[in-house]
Amino acid sequence: MKSNRHGKGDWDPTDLERQWSTIDPVVARILEKPFLGAPISEAEGEQLFHTRGAECEALVHAADALRKQAVGDDVSFVITRNINFTNICYMGCRFCNFSKRMEDADAEWLSLDTLADRAEEAWLRGATEVCIQGGLHPKMSGDHYRDILIAIKARVPDLHIHAFSPFEIWFGARKNRCSVKDFLVDLKAHGLGSIPGTAAEILDVEVRQQLTQDKLSADEWMAIVRTAHEVGLRSSSTIMYGHVDHPRHWARHIDMLRRIQMDTGGFTEFVPLGFIHYDSPIYLSGGARPGPTYEEHVHMHAVGRLMLHGWIDHIQVSWVKMGPERAQEMLGYGVDDLGGTLMNESISRASGAPHGQEITPAEMVRIIRAAGRTPVRRNTLYDIIERYDDHEPAEYPPLVDRNERQQDRLGLAMGRREAG
């Protein structure tokens, strides 16, 4: 395996070496590797997930030092709005309680006008990005993904559209009977800016069989992401952990992401997403754990930082999954990004998570400063737009309530016609 691009040097080893001299020498040798420009192997990564006590303390200390070496003390966030354009989906993933049947009373389908309204509203509240994902509506045309882009770009041409998971790309290409590459090239031509690296779950056949009946295989997920990067669409990378998985799956998953990154350089960040178990079918039937423990959250962010050092600079914590307080704590374990303000998020809340509405830019800044770090606002691709060394972010009016709670009845009716 290649050595990482940060290579040797530019770090002060004294503190770390002192700590390493007091712990298990095998763990110490693994922790030292990224500082020397050498990659941590999958087996070594798995070992790190099992560290406890002094070895675990050394792990988080190393993760924090690597974070500082890679990106300094800045902690970034992006003003973005999540828009889930439909929750109608028949894929039946067993961890998901977001999906509804068409006839369900709480089934939603947002019209193109409504999507454009919400995007424009986000733009007026300072958003540089909208993140759009939805269920795989069985009657939806593959062209609908393109229509969403056209509708939003017509209204807000400069807004970055971060949209459509690899599962949606797979679905749209199948619907249109075209290759994934042709589908992505067309979406890019119509304004797609980047894609979320969601639907990765755990890149392992055995785990995916239990979670999703392997409808989108690990190989297909990786091929779609590689193709997206190849056509110039960057993506995030994710892992969903804390259900039927084990440390060996986590280490392999991170290693696979790293291999993709070595070839394409297309990942912008790594985002650990803890499994939200409440109301999830697989949990309710006794088939999964109730999400990750706190210790597992710490390990995931810290080991992610170590294994990806030199390849993916940004480790994002999901405040939606963990809540703002725990997310703030993760800043000490290798994390340098707090993700998006979101404005509305419904996937995690549909699974019963208590978080997921909005953190305003002012709250983001407060959380980051309270952790002793410097808040910066970024765009989707991690270019810094504004630093908050000595001033507060602009204030925006609250969202109109209709967008948060009200069922879009008109949109639902229109959407059914569009979908048909």
Distance CA 301, CA 355 (A): 20
**Interface residue with ligand SF4, options 85, 109, 123, 167 (CB under 6 A):** 167
What's the closest the beta carbon of residue 89 comes to ligand SF4, in angstroms?
3
Q: With contacts defined by CB under 6 A, how many residues of the chain interact with ligand SF4?
A: 10
Q: Mark 74-103 with x for binding to ligand SF4 (rule: CB under 6 A) and - for no binding.
A: ---------------x-xxx--x-xx----
**Residue 135 or 339: which CB sits closer to ligand SF4?**
135
Q: Is 170 in the site for ligand SF4 (CB under 6 A)?
A: no
**Residue 69 or 86: which CB sits closer to ligand SF4?**
86
Residue recorded with tokens 């985002």: 271
DSSP string, 167-202: HHHHHHHHHTTS-HHHHHHHHHHTTEEEE---S-S-
**Residue 4 or 99: which CB sits closer to ligand SF4?**
99
What's the closest the beta carbon of residue 2 comes to ligand SF4, in angstroms?
34
Q: Mark 317-356 with x for binding to ligand SF4 (rule: CB under 6 A) and - for no binding.
A: ----------------------------------------
What's the closest the beta carbon of residue 46 comes to ligand SF4, in angstroms?
27
Name 352's Cβ contacts closer than 8 Å, sequence gap at least 6.
Answer: 97, 276, 277, 278, 279, 280
What's the closest the beta carbon of residue 291 comes to ligand SF4, in angstroms?
16
Instruction: Provide the token pair at 273.
Output: 């997403």
What's the closest the beta carbon of residue 99 comes to ligand SF4, in angstroms?
4
What's the closest the beta carbon of residue 372 comes to ligand SF4, in angstroms?
37
SS3 for 344-401, per residue? Answer: CCCHHHHCCCCCCCCCCHHHHHHHHHHCCCEEEEECCCCCEEEECCCCCCCCCCCCCC
Neighbour-count burial for 232-260, b at 16+ CB within 10 Å, e otherwise: ebbbbbbbbbbbbbebebbbbbbbbbbeb
Q: Please name the amino acid found at residue 17.
A: E
Q: Is 136 in the site for ligand SF4 (CB under 6 A)?
A: yes
Distance CA 323, CA 306 (A): 24
What's the closest the beta carbon of residue 96 comes to ligand SF4, in angstroms?
3
**Residue 98 or 270: which CB sits closer to ligand SF4?**
98
**Residue 155 or 215: which CB sits closer to ligand SF4?**
215
Q: Is 225 left (phi over 0), alpha (psi -120 to 50) or beta?
A: alpha
**Interface residue with ligand SF4, options 34, 126, 135, 197 (CB under 6 A):** 135
**Residue 136 or 359: which CB sits closer to ligand SF4?**
136
Burial label for 25, CB within 10 Å (0-12, 13-18, 19+), is exposed
User: Under the rule (CB under 6 A), what is the footprint of ligand SF4?
Assistant: 89, 91-93, 96, 98-99, 135-136, 167
